[in-house]
């Protein structure tokens, strides 16, 4: 029997090492280690081995089984390795790779980031509000009378339930004061919606940035200093800024801000609205809050708002506002 074991071992090792693919290997496994395989058959012969020789024979058979198993495993990894090498031999490492397209931030996002950075340096925090607003937050609390043209359903998108798509981000002023006692110093970037005919200078959905600073003793000087700092950061220190008296329901006095800068082609451009928060706005907030922390006799504040698309068009010399929403890569890749 010992000789039989020896010759079976030699035979098995020869066949396994000659195998060149998975199926040959599997056939060898079945032939030697399978249920009806040669090694199994040999084990069955143990019955005829004298009792005293059985332990030694058992050990021989176990060794045989594990030798063949190990040989099969080694052959398996040899075959896999050869398959890998064969596959890789086709690979031409000198071929140029597939370039990955690298994205970049949208020009509007880039401008927004710069604007936010600038105001953050002056201590403004970012505030947020819903795009679907109540008339009260969007108009009434902002001292806008019921017959004001902006409230017309020709100009504003109304929902069947009476709410509306906010026509400006000024509603966030109200939301912040409703929920936070003074002092507050916030900017609120976000979408605004108007029923405008879409053309080279108008979108029905656009982006605004609102600002509000309320505390004791906030003055018009603070308003001018803050916005001058901001626009000079954006357009350069030589930028000229003009506050032209205007009217907004929610500020008194109110101004429009005109800018003249080399970076903008040297022409005066109207860029933003601003003013000192109207006492009527503070009164509306007090009434809603049920306290007097925004008593206009105790606090004062300024507010401002501007459209980011307009600004982006000026900063990046974009001739048509629609380019900012079409997402044509030939356009976007230039930024």
Residue numbers at the binding site for ligand DAH (CB under 6 A): 168, 170, 210, 248, 251, 273-275, 303-305
Beta carbon nearer to ligand DAH, 170 or 207: 170
Rounded to the nearest 5°, which phi and psi values hold at 267? -100, 150
Minimum distance from residue 272 beta carbon to ligand DAH (Å): 7
Minimum distance from residue 301 beta carbon to ligand DAH (Å): 10
Beta carbon nearer to ligand DAH, 28 or 142: 142
Minimum distance from residue 216 beta carbon to ligand DAH (Å): 19
Minimum distance from residue 251 beta carbon to ligand DAH (Å): 4
Distance CA 158, CA 134 (A): 10
- The first and second tokens of residue 86, run together, are 């064969």
Contact in structure between 222 and 300 (CB atoms under 8 Å): no
What strands, in cross-sheet order, belong to the sheet with 205-215? Answer: 125-126, 184-193, 205-215, 300-307, 269-277, 251-260, 240-248
Distance CA 125, CA 238 (A): 27
Beta carbon nearer to ligand DAH, 32 or 282: 282
- Specify the length of the chain in residues: 335
Minimum distance from residue 99 beta carbon to ligand DAH (Å): 44
Beta carbon nearer to ligand DAH, 16 or 212: 212
Beta carbon nearer to ligand DAH, 285 or 303: 303
Which class for 185: exposed (0-12), middle (13-18), buried (19 or more C-beta within 10 A)?
Answer: buried
Distance CA 99, CA 101 (A): 6
């Amino acid at each position: 029997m010992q000789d039989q074991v020896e010759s079976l071992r030699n035979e098995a090792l020869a066949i396994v090492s000659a195998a060149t693919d998975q199926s040959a290997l599997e056939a060898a496994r079945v032939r030697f280690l399978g249920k009806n395989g040669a090694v199994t058959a040999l084990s069955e012969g143990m019955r005829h081995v004298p009792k005293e020789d059985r332990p030694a024979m058992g050990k021989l058979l176990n060794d045989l089984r594990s030798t063949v198993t190990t040989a099969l495993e080694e052959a398996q990894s040899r075959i896999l390795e050869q398959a890998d090498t064969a596959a890789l031999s086709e690979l031409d490492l000198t071929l140029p790779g597939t370039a990955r397209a690298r994205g970049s931030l949208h020009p509007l996002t880039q401008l927004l980031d710069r604007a936010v950075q600038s105001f953050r340096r002056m201590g403004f925090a970012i505030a947020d509000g819903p795009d679907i607003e109540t008339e009260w937050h969007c108009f009434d609390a902002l001292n806008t009378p019921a017959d004001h043209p902006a409230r017309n359903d020709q100009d504003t998108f109304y929902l069947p339930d009476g709410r509306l798509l906010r026509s400006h981000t000024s509603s966030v002023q109200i939301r912040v004061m409703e929920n936070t006692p003074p002092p507050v110093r916030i900017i609120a970037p976000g979408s605004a919606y108007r029923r405008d005919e879409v053309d080279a200078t108008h979108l029905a959905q656009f982006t605004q940035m609102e600002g509000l600073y309320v505390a004791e003793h906030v003055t018009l000087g603070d308003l001018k200093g803050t916005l001058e700092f901001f626009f000079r950061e954006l357009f350069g220190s030589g930028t000229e800024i003009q506050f032209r008296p205007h009217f907004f329901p929610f500020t008194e006095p109110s101004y429009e801000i005109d800018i003249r800068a080399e970076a903008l082609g040297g022409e005066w451009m109207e860029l933003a609205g601003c003013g000192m928060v109207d006492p009527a706005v503070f009164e509306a907030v007090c009434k809603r809050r049920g306290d007097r922390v925004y008593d206009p006799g105790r606090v004062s504040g300024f507010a401002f708002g501007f459209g980011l698309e307009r600004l982006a068009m000026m900063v990046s010399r974009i001739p048509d506002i629609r380019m900012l929403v079409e997402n044509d890569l030939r356009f976007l890749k230039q930024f």
